[in-house]
Structure formats: structure tokens, C-alpha cells
A and B are shown apart, each in its own frame.
Chain A
Amino acid sequence: MVAEAGEVTTVLMVGNPNVGKSALFNRMTGGNAVVSNYPGTTVDFTKGTLIEGNRTYVIIDVPGTYSLEPRDAAEEVAVRMLRHHPDAVVMIVLDATRIERGLYLALEVMERGMPCILAVNMIDAAHEKQITVDTAELQRLLGIPVIPTTAISGEGVRSLAEMLRKARVADVMAVSRRLRGEGGETEPGRGCFGCGGCGGC
């Protein structure tokens, strides 16, 4: 048969409801998850495959959740997915027009010690509303790769796929130190963690 396409990594897409996880999922995997303009469309998970470089990623589109303390069936599915895939990479998806609301969940996920990558989706809608998201600063504060994307047009999806390999475990204590402005500079992050400029080294 065909040569093995390297190792297989599971990627869980986690985020608030209605931030465009399914649209992003379809973009990345060519899947046909149902996308609609109201929250709570995904109540079960959808799986798809992405081959990037010589790596294979199994991407799982997880139902939207506001926190990791489940309050409904869909949120329970999300929490269960995280628990059942302890060695997965977590792709946190935020809505660029409502960053602050997604950060709670983002930090909750980061606290679990799983390698994370953050997609700031709907960046086009944010531009329209004259909202600018300083992704470089967000990346510095959180210590995980942050990629601006627009799932609808496909902008940033390529670099998001390339950056999956740069997902890293966030140090939540370091995040809180950086937010308080205490000695964050001592730890600039070992090596490259993804400005995207090199196209993935």
C-alpha cells in the first residue's frame, strides 16, 4: 500500500458556540459539517482528516461550549472529548469580534496542560466592525501560537494548518505573570513558536 503518512495527531477544535468552528473544520478537511448562523448547530462531533507536510491530523469538530463545566448535553460532549483525548492538540477557536468572551474557555483549556494553538476566526467581520486584534501581542501573552483566520474566505487557514505542529503547552502561571507585567521577558519561548513568516520551519 501507500507509504505511511507520518504520525497521526488528533486535533480537537474547541470554542464558544457560533465562532465558526464548523466552517473552519470544513475548510481544513474538505468535510461537510453543517454550518449555520446560529449557535448550537454542532451537538455531536464530526471527524475529518488533514494531511499537512508529512503529518496526518485527525481533526475533530467539537460542539461549542462556554466553559469546561458542562451545563448541557453538547457541552458534556465537548468535555468528554477533551478527557478522552489527553494527548491531542487543542485548537482553540475564538471569534475576533468577541475575543474576551472566548478567553475564559481558552484559559480553561490551557490549564489542562494540553498543547494548544489559537485561531482568531472571523477576522474579516472584525475588520468590518473596525476591531483590530493584536494577534502578536496575544501570542506573546498566552505563549501559544495565535493565527488570524477567516473560515468563510479561507484566509489564514493554510498557515493555521502549518502551525498545528507548533502547538505548545501553555504555562498558565507564566501567562498570569505576564498579564501582571512581572518578569515575563525572561521566557521568550524556546525557539520558534510561529510567526508564520517562514512558512513553517
Chain B
Amino acid sequence: MMSDNPMFLNTISPGSRVCVTAVEGGHGTRQNLALRGIAEGSVVTVVSSSHGPVVVGVQGTTVALGRGMAAKVRVRRMEI
């Protein structure tokens, strides 16, 4: 059963694979993230998020997001 509460990238534990469902924020934020491979539909793997920036792997590269920015990325867990 899917929960209705939206999940955000800053709350995901390292090692999980998630699918981005939406990026909340203005045009600038969305463009900024999309150019780095984080946009609706992209699959990211969380590398590190326990403290400091949230580091994710996207299409073979690593992107570090500030926690504020990560909190704007709405995600859905991927069924393995």
C-alpha cells in the first residue's frame, strides 16, 4: 500500500534507489537540477545523506545537493 505522504530526497537512507516524481521549486531550481540529471522520471541512488549534503548517483555521475535543495525533490521508492 502506497502511503499518501510524499517522500523527499533528504529523508532517504543511503543505498536506496528512488525515482524522482517531482521537483518542487521555481524554474531556476528545476532547470538547475534537470541539467544535472535530476528531473521527473529520473532514477537516482542515494550515496550519502546521514549528514552534510545529500549525495546521489545519477546516470553514472555523482551529484551533491544541499539539504534544502534535496528537500524539494519528491521521490518514490523503486520496487526491487
**Which A residues fall within an 8 A CB radius of B?**
16, 18, 39, 66-67, 69, 71, 97-98, 101, 104-105
Contact = CB atoms under 8 A, between A and B. Distances in A.
Given A66-B35, A66-B36, 5 more contacts: A16-B35, A18-B61, A69-B28, A98-B37, A101-B36
Interface in B3-61: 28, 31-32, 35-37, 59-61
Contacts of B61: 18, 39, 98
Interface of B: 28, 31-32, 35-37, 59-61
A104 B60 contact: no
A71 B37 contact: no
B42 to A, nearest CB: 11
Contacts of A104: 35
A104 B28 CA distance: 14
Contacts of B32: 66, 71
A67 B59 contact: no
Contact of B35 (A39, A67, A97): A67
